[in-house]
Amino acid sequence: MSDVQGDQLVAPVLPGGGVLPFAPVPSGSIAGRTLQESTYSPRPVPKRLHDDSPNIVIVLIDDAGPGLPSTFGGEVTTSTLDRICAEGVSYNRFHTTAMCSPTRASLLTGRNHHEIGNGQIAELANDWDGYAGKIPRSSATVAEVLKQYGYATSAFGKWHNTPAEETTAAGPFENWPTGLGFEYFYGFLAGEASQYEPNLVRNTTVVPPPRTPEEGYHLSEDLADDAISWLRRHKAFNADKPFFMYWASGCLHGPH
């Protein structure tokens, strides 16, 4: 988190005296007149995470109230959700914003939706204070904070936190997921998408679905497969880093 004073972004002091973003590690090497007279001694990068830092996965499903899945007493069988909840803790009291963009912005920042410019859905972003549709840099997302500490971060599926006028292939991209702390994104920027012929984005590049509906394509399955592929790459190249994954399906929102 951070604060704004005038036009200057001021990073807060963290426990232990640190600030975000952390200052780069200065060089420990000493240059002489020649390579032989020089001392090469890079300083170690400070370790900012505990060895047992957990992996974090947020699964966000639109418009699925607690009365829908069997996990919370509903009539739709959700055996995987049953298993996940049995391994952890469930909470059943919430303050809700009752709309897509505000909910997501609050979830990702821990802030009131009006305080972070998301008092309305992104398609209705405007000039009124609290409704600009842009998460300010003074309220870092959880992905940005975790990335600064050393997490690998990724987002999949529905985003809906970028003003509609900024969601074309021309950008600007600072309010896309990769501009707000996520190192990787695969999904769609709008409030909803076809489950069979979606308009997809990978990072900041518009991409077609990998298959056609006739070939059995479905968006939720594609998002899951891409998340699994990202996890496999993460384990192959960054197995020592914990990861934060934000997985937000396109269903049940559209179509219900």
Tally DSSP H helices, then E strands, for the chain: 4, 8
Mapped onto helix, strand or coil, the DSSP state of residue 184 is strand
Q: Give the pLDDT confidence of 185-236 residue by residue, as tens digits.
A: 999 999 999 999 999 999 999 999 999 999 999 999 999 999 999 999 999 9
Helix (H, G, I), strand (E, B) or coil at 186: strand
**Which segment of 8-22, 116-130, 148-162, 197-211 scores lowest on mean pLDDT?**
8-22
- Selected catalytic residue, list 85, 95, 114, 160: 160
Residue 100 among the catalytic residues: yes
The model's pTM = 0.88
pLDDT in tens, 51-82: 999 999 999 988 887 788 999 889 999 999 89
| Averaged pLDDT for residues 111-124 | 95
Q: Say what percent of the chain tops pLDDT 90.
A: 74
| Token pair in block for residue 7 | 């036009």
pLDDT computed for residue 256 by the predictor: 65
The confidence band for 237, taking pLDDT boundaries of 50, 70 and 90, is very high
Quote the distance between the C-alpha of residue 76 and its chain's center: 28
216-225: long-range contacts, CB 8 A cutoff, minimum separation 24:
219/193, 219/194, 219/195, 219/249, 219/250, 219/251, 220/195, 220/249, 220/250, 220/251, 223/156, 223/157, 223/186, 223/187, 223/247, 223/249, 223/250
C-alpha distances (whole Å) from 242 to each of 56, 57, 195 are 8, 11, 31
Shortest CA distance to 222 belongs to which of 252, 204, 197, 253?
197
Q: What are the backbone dihedrals phi and psi of residue 239, each rounded to the nearest 5 degrees, phi first? A: -60, -20
What's the CATH code, domain 49-248?
3.40.720.10
Domain boundaries, the chain: 49-248
Active-site pick, 100, 113, 234, 253 = 100
Write the DSSP symbol of residue 19. B
Coil, strand or helix: which one is 10?
strand
Q: Mean pLDDT in the chain?
A: 90
> Does the pLDDT value for residue 16 go beyond 80?
no
DSSP lists the bridge partners of residue 248 as 60, 157
The Cα angle at residue 250 between residues 246 and 251, in degrees rounded to 5: 115
How far apart are alpha carbons 25 and 165 in whole angstroms? 39
- Rounded distance, CA 99 to CA 119, Å? 9
Say if residue 253's pLDDT is above 90: no
Whether pLDDT at 1 is above 50: no
